[in-house]
């Protein structure tokens, strides 16, 4: 029987998370490697909320949320291990995060690289609107697209 769970990241997850993210697209193309992940997860990203998706006791996905970005929160990173992709784990992790975020604020923002078609399709299916491209944001010749999912206007008129 397959079991899945979502929980808060702990320092012991660090090695598995770095392995999951290293040698994975889109980050290779964007110039992020094991050294970057080791620095970011040292042992946990500071001032962020980090979540782990587990499948059969293994770390299958990771997400980082930075609170307070525009009038909402910002999903800084979402990654599912290659062996665990397209099994609904990314969707479960994001739904879990949204259930927490929309209790405290009205928007969840994210970014996706313009060349990352699978992730763009994924976010669209999850209800995210592409706000617009930020050209040459991380690497030359490619844009990061700002995404927004909203629970409604921030203020009552």
Ligand X SMILES: CC(C)(COP(=O)(O)OP(=O)(O)OC[C@H]1O[C@@H](n2cnc3c(N)ncnc32)[C@H](O)[C@@H]1OP(=O)(O)O)[C@@H](O)C(=O)NCCC(=O)NCCS
* Interface with ligand X (CB under 6 A): 26, 78-80, 85-91, 112, 116, 118-119, 121-122, 125
CB 13, min distance to ligand X, A:
16
Nearer to ligand X, 101 or 119 (CB): 119
CB 151, min distance to ligand X, A:
21
Nearer to ligand X, 146 or 152 (CB): 146
CB 126, min distance to ligand X, A:
8
Angle 117-125/89-104 helices, nearest 10 degrees? Answer: 50
DSSP assigned state of 105? -
Looking at beta carbons, which residue is closest to ligand X? 90
CB 76, min distance to ligand X, A:
9
Nearer to ligand X, 87 or 148 (CB): 87
Nearer to ligand X, 127 or 153 (CB): 127
Nearer to ligand X, 33 or 153 (CB): 33
Residue bearing tokens 């587990």: 54
CB 157, min distance to ligand X, A:
34
- Residue 88: HSE in the Cβ half-sphere, 13 Å Cα cutoff: 6
Whole-Å CA distances, 46 to 20, 64, 126, 147: 20, 10, 27, 23
* H or E segment to which residue 73 belongs: strand 72-80
CA distance 56 to 54: 6
CA distance 114 to 105: 27
CA distance 63 to 12: 16
């Amino acid at each position: 029987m397959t079991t899945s769970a979502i929980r808060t990241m702990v320092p012991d997850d660090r090695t598995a998370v770095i392995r999951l993210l290293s040698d994975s697209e889109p980050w290779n193309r964007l110039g992020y490697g094991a050294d970057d992940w080791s620095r970011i997860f040292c042992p946990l990203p500071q001032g962020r909320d980090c979540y782990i998706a587990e499948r059969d006791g293994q770390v299958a996905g990771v997400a980082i949320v930075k609170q307070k970005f525009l009038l909402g929160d910002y999903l800084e990173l979402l990654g599912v291990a290659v062996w665990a992709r397209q099994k609904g784990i990314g969707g479960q992790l994001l739904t879990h995060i949204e259930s927490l975020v929309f209790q405290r604020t009205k928007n969840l923002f994210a970014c996706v690289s313009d060349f990352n078609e699978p992730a763009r399709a994924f976010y669209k299916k999850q209800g995210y609107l592409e706000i617009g491209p930020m050209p040459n944001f991380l690497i030359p010749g490619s844009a990061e697209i700002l995404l927004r999912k909203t629970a409604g206007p921030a203020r009552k008129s």
